[in-house]
């Protein structure tokens, strides 16, 4: 006898959600190919580890979604049991992530503070590695500074330029009239470096030789 209609519909919806979540998680593989330009910010482990975990989680979600879709119209079988087992794994991963985020939230400002050192080395020269990394990072993450555009007010580049503006990489690309001036801060990106925060929350007593920043 087939499962009740309501249960089948609910199972199919849940499976489709898992498929979409899995596809989104697999987007973490993008960082495996793009992280090199940010080498002045991180040792590679802090980019590869989150990306690999995102890929692993995405694979589990995709498998769960596929199994859920395939068994939603069938009689109870081992497929249903496997689906439930994979859901338990997913919830364990989510729970572990939530616990780590909660236990490390107090260290967030402390861990993010060193990022400002790289911004202090910004020169505005497009050939300078620090400058290239900062500009690429801000465009990629659609942010301006570590927390917001006011971080730039404390940099030597801003103070020596004599201009009341931030780098063009801070400009929201939806506003073509943006020229970096602080007279129109609403034209600038205001997002925080959220994926950097995630990488920091995932850090748990790493070996001493690994450093989040390149101190050279």
- In residues, how long is the chain? 216
Q: How many CA atoms lie within 13 A of 13 on its CB side?
A: 6
Q: Find, among 204, 158, 166, the residue nearest to 183 by Cα.
A: 166
> What's the average model confidence in pLDDT over 49-66?
69
**What confidence tens digit (pLDDT) does each residue in 94-128 have?**
677 667 666 666 555 555 556 667 788 899 888 88
Residue 204 is predicted with a pLDDT of 43
- Fold (topology level) of 109-201: Cd81 Antigen, Extracellular Domain; Chain: A (1.10.1450)
Q: Each residue of 60-97: pLDDT tens digit?
A: 777 777 777 776 666 666 767 777 777 787 777 667 76
Q: Where are the domains of the chain?
A: 5-106, 109-201
**pTM to 2 decimal places:** 0.47
Give the torsion sign (CA, 169, 175, 180, 186). negative
Segment 188-196 shows an average pLDDT of 66
């Amino acid at each position: 006898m087939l499962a009740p209609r309501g249960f089948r519909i609910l199972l199919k919806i849940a499976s489709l959600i898992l498929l979409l979540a899995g596809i989104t998680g697999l987007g973490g593989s993008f960082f495996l190919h793009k992280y090199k330009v940010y080498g002045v910010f991180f040792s590679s482990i802090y980019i590869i580890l989150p990306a690999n975990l995102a890929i692993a989680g995405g694979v589990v979600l995709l498998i769960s979604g596929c199994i859920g879709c395939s068994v939603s119209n069938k009689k109870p079988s081992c497929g249903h049991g496997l689906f439930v087992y994979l859901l338990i794994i997913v919830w364990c991963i989510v729970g572990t992530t939530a616990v780590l985020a909660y236990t490390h939230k107090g260290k967030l400002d402390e861990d993010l503070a060193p990022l400002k050192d790289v911004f202090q080395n910004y020169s505005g020269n497009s050939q300078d590695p620090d400058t290239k990394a900062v500009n690429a990072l801000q465009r990629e993450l659609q942010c301006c500074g570590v927390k917001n555009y006011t971080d730039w007010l404390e940099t030597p580049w801003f103070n020596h330029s004599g201009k009341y503006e931030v780098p063009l990489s801070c400009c929201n690309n939806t506003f073509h009239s943006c020229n970096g001036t602080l007279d129109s801060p609403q034209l600038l990106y205001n997002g925080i470096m959220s994926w950097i925060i995630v990488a920091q929350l995932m850090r748990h007593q790493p070996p001493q030789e690994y450093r989040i920043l390149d101190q050279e």
